[in-house]
């Protein structure tokens, strides 16, 4: 019986399978699978193809081409344009994140010029540890402080306070302060009179002086007007600061009022612009820069701070030159160019406190005083209205180091750079001119407050500065950069067809009438051209560049209304 029952069940199963097969065969090939399984996805009944796992980087690249910020959230899109846009957007975001991490990493792990050398810290601690006069001047060096300041707010405010504190740290018996101001208005006069009352050291404060532009030699600009070159004027004003050192004085009586002369044998000369600065930094610039570890004496011909405006941008690019004579192409760290030997740039990247240069000024500059006191035989330069030099044909004269200007029209060179060139020419085989990047100053309060923060992160600017300086507009070719002293060279100068218009002269009405000149000259009489001429180089060609800055005719009004902007730029004629 069991066998019969088992056979019956097998027959039943066979019959059921046959019915199912028969039903399936009736399904039309045109009917879709979803007609019978609406609630079940088709993919459920099929095995998915095997895919090899992607690497993390592969998944990152895949996600990068999807919607914005798709790095974190993937969304499919069928638009090719949108995918391209999303990819670009994500790359920009990624680049920003990388740059941010680069900046923060440099500021935290590699802060720039933030860890002062031990001797700097010791001198600053000594200067702030007590109120004893002279505490910051252990060797008792004599310092001549000079400034052409005109901003009355600074005189009564931060600048005045810092100078007074610096005098106390140096010791009043070791300091002489020389200030010269002219044509700046009553507020500056009153501020300097107030400052003079605060001084407890030897000083010469000349204020309220009038320096008429008619006393200066002029050049003729293409508009047909005689104008005073700005750098002629600045050289004269800066030389007025050094008049107290002339012993015996070279001025005729009455030329400069209220000058106090000194016979002190100074060790250092410190020039200070109208800046915000720290008196402890001034001490370190004077006494710690290139200090001889054996003698403890700072050994330099000149040493300069770095001056900043608008955050982390270097300001005084007109004066500063690297060891090859190149000017800086951008105002970002590391400031100096990679062209040439890149000696100055490499020193900054190495965080050196003695960056060798050919020229600098940068708001605060310290010099070894001997060249300013000791007369030496040097090449004659354009005569000064101070010295009333009447020997323009003399090839050499004996005089101490002083500021001068370049008389050639459309070739401007800073009076400070020319001073440095003359200084280095006295000892050409052993130049000791340095920039000290640990010492920072600023021209406005906001920059002064933020400068330490910018300074900490400035190393991050290095790739940007390197990239920017290779653009053609980033720097200007100087054809005279490599000229050597007393070398015969060929230069291009602007020459008027009317020879009476050429050169820099102390013009007067009788001279003009004799040459048939009247001002302004008609435009048709101002024809000129660029001409190649031979000259004997002075070795200061690296200081110059094409351009012409001239003084405004109403100097007092410009000083009063223009915030010190008493000059304008005249473009060089075309044709070079």
**pLDDT above 90: residue 101:** no
Q: What distance in Å separates the CA atoms of residue 409 and residue 560, rounded to the nearest whole number? A: 28
Which H/E stretch holds residue 309? Answer: strand 302-309
Average pLDDT over residues 140-153: 97
Cβ atoms within 10 A of the Cβ of 352, count? Answer: 18
pLDDT of residue 111: 85
Pairing of strands 268-272, 411-413: unpaired
**pLDDT above 70: residue 389:** no
pLDDT of residue 468: 79
pLDDT of residue 461: 81
Q: What distance in Å separates the CA atoms of residue 157 and residue 153, rounded to the nearest whole number? A: 6
Please state, in angstroms and as integers, the Cα–Cα distance from residue 141 to each residue in 24, 217, 262, 463, following that order: 113, 39, 16, 42
Cβ atoms within 10 A of the Cβ of 566, count? Answer: 21
Q: Which tokens in the block code for residue 55?
A: 């690497």
Query: Mean pLDDT for the chain?
Result: 84
The domain spans of the chain are 56-109, 118-307+354-434, 488-570
Average pLDDT over residues 39-61: 55
Between residues 235 and 8, which one has the greater pLDDT? Answer: 235
Candidate from 29-38, 72-81, 105-114 with smallest mean pLDDT? 29-38
pLDDT of residue 107: 62
Q: How confident is the model at residue 33 (pLDDT cuts 50, 70, 90)?
A: very low
Average pLDDT over residues 268-273: 99
pLDDT of residue 392: 40
Count of all residues that appear for the chain in the document: 576
Q: What is the pLDDT of residues 167-216, one digit of tens each?
A: 999 999 999 999 999 998 899 999 999 999 999 999 999 999 999 999 99
Average pLDDT over residues 314-332: 92
pLDDT of residue 456: 86
pLDDT of residue 383: 47
Between residues 375 and 3, which one has the greater pLDDT? Answer: 375
Q: Which tokens in the block code for residue 449?
A: 């407050």
The answer to whether 186 and 150 have CB atoms below 8 angstroms apart is no
Q: Which tokens in the block code for residue 569?
A: 């730029």
Between residues 365 and 101, which one has the greater pLDDT? Answer: 365
pTM of model > 0.85: no
Average pLDDT over residues 153-159: 98
Q: How confident is the model at residue 331 (pLDDT cuts 50, 70, 90)?
A: confident
pLDDT of residue 13: 58
Q: How confident is the model at residue 226 (pLDDT cuts 50, 70, 90)?
A: very high
Radius of gyration of the CA atoms of the chain, in A: 37
pLDDT of residue 108: 66
pLDDT of residue 319: 97
**pLDDT above 80: residue 293:** yes
Average pLDDT over residues 331-345: 92
pLDDT of residue 91: 84
pLDDT of residue 349: 93
pLDDT of residue 397: 61
Q: Report the percentage of the chain scoring pLDDT > 90.
A: 56
Q: What distance in Å separates the CA atoms of residue 397 and residue 416, rounded to the nearest whole number? A: 20
Q: Using a CB cutoff of 8 Å and minimum separation of 24, what contacts does 200-203 make?
A: 200/167, 200/172, 201/167, 201/172, 201/173, 201/175, 201/176, 201/177, 202/175, 202/176, 202/177, 202/260, 202/262, 202/264, 203/176, 203/177, 203/178, 203/179, 203/260
Angle 437-477-441 (CA atoms, 0-180°, nearest 5)? 20
Half-sphere exposure of residue 309: CA atoms within 13 angstroms, side-chain side: 8
Q: Which tokens in the block code for residue 49?
A: 């193809």
Q: Report the percentage of the chain scoring pLDDT > 70.
A: 77
Q: What is the pLDDT of residues 500-523, one digit of tens each?
A: 999 998 887 777 777 788 888 898
Average pLDDT over residues 245-261: 64
Q: What distance in Å separates the CA atoms of residue 329 and residue 423, rounded to the nearest whole number? A: 25
Q: What distance in Å separates the CA atoms of residue 404 and residue 417, rounded to the nearest whole number? A: 10
Q: How confident is the model at residue 99 (pLDDT cuts 50, 70, 90)?
A: confident
Q: What distance in Å separates the CA atoms of residue 135 and residue 140, rounded to the nearest whole number? A: 9
Average pLDDT over residues 357-372: 98
Q: What is the pLDDT of residues 442-501, one digit of tens each?
A: 999 999 999 988 888 888 887 777 777 777 555 678 999 999 999 999 999 999 999 999
Q: List the helix and strand counts (H, then E) for the chain.
A: 16, 19
Helix axes 118-128, 279-287, angle to 10 degrees: 130
Average pLDDT over residues 27-34: 48
Cβ atoms within 10 A of the Cβ of 96, count? Answer: 10
Average pLDDT over residues 271-285: 98
Between residues 346 and 47, which one has the greater pLDDT? Answer: 346
Candidate from 107-111, 176-180, 390-394, 528-532 with smallest mean pLDDT? 390-394
Contacts of 205 (CB under 8 A, 6+ apart): 177, 178, 179, 192, 193, 195, 196, 199, 258
**pLDDT above 60: residue 251:** no
**pLDDT above 90: residue 39:** no
Q: How confident is the model at residue 29 (pLDDT cuts 50, 70, 90)?
A: very low
Q: What distance in Å separates the CA atoms of residue 446 and residue 192, rounded to the nearest whole number? A: 24
**pLDDT above 50: residue 394:** no
Q: What distance in Å separates the CA atoms of residue 3 and residue 181, rounded to the nearest whole number? A: 132
Average pLDDT over residues 259-265: 91
């Amino acid at each position: 019986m069991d066998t019969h029952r088992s056979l019956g069940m097998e027959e039943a199963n066979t019959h059921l399978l046959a019915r199912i097969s028969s039903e399936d065969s009736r399904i039309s090939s045109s009917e879709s699978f979803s007609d019978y399984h609406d609630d079940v996805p088709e993919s459920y009944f099929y095995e998915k193809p095997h895919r090899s796992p992607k690497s993390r980087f592969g998944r990152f690249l895949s996600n990068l081409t999807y919607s914005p910020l798709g790095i974190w959230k993937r969304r499919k899109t069928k638009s090719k344009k949108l995918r391209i846009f999303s990819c670009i957007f994500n790359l920009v975001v990624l680049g920003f994140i990388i740059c941010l991490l680069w900046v923060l990493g440099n500021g935290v792990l590699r802060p720039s010029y933030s860890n002062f050398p031990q001797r700097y810290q010791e001198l600053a601690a000594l200067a702030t540890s007590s109120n004893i006069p002279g505490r910051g001047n252990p060797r008792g060096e004599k310092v001549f402080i000079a400034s052409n300041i005109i901003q009355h707010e600074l005189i009564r405010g931060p600048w005045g306070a810092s100078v007074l504190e610096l005098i106390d740290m140096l010791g009043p018996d070791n300091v002489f302060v020389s200030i010269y101001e002219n044509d700046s208005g009553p507020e500056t006069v009153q501020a300097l009179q107030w400052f003079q009352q605060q001084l407890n050291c030897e000083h010469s404060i000349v204020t309220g002086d009038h320096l008429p532009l008619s006393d200066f030699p002029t050049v003729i600009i293409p508009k047909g007007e005689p104008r005073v070159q700005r750098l002629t004027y600045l050289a004269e004003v800066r030389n007025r600061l050094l008049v107290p050192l002339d012993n015996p004085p070279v001025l005729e009586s009455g030329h400069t009022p209220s000058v106090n002369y000194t016979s002190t044998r100074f060790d250092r000369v410190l020039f200070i612009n109208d800046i915000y600065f720290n008196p402890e930094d001034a001490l370190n610039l004077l006494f710690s820069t290139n200090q001889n570890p054996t003698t403890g004496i700072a050994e330099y011909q000149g040493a300069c701070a770095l001056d900043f405006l608008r955050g982390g941008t270097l300001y005084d690019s007109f004066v500063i030159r690297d060891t090859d004579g190149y000017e800086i192409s951008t105002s970002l760290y590391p400031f100096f160019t990679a062209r040439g030997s890149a000696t100055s740039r490499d020193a900054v990247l190495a965080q050196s406190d003695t960056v060798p240069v050919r020229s600098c000024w940068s708001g605060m500059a310290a010099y070894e005083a001997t060249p300013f006191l000791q007369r030496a035989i040097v090449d004659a330069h354009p005569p000064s209205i101070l010295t009333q030099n009447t020997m323009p044909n003399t090839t050499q004269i004996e005089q101490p180091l002083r500021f001068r200007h370049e008389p050639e029209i459309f070739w401007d060179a800073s009076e400070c750079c020319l001073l440095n060139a003359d200084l280095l020419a006295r000892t050409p085989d052993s130049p000791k001119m340095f920039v000290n990047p640990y010492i920072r100053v600023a021209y406005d309060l906001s920059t002064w407050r933020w400068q330490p923060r910018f300074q900490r992160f400035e190393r991050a600017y290095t790739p940007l500065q390197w990239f920017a300086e290779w653009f053609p507009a980033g720097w200007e070719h100087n054809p005279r950069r490599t000229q050597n002293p007393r070398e015969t060279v060929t230069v291009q100068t602007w020459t008027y067809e009317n020879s009476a218009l050429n050169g820099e002269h102390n013009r007067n009405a009788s001279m003009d009438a004799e040459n048939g000149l009247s001002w302004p000259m008609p435009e048709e009489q101002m024809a000129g051209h660029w001409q190649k001429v031979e000259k004997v180089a002075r070795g200061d060609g690296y200081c110059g560049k094409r351009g012409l800055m001239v003084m405004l005719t109403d100097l007092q009004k410009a000083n009063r209304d223009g915030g010190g902007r008493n000059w304008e730029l005249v473009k060089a004629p075309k044709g070079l």
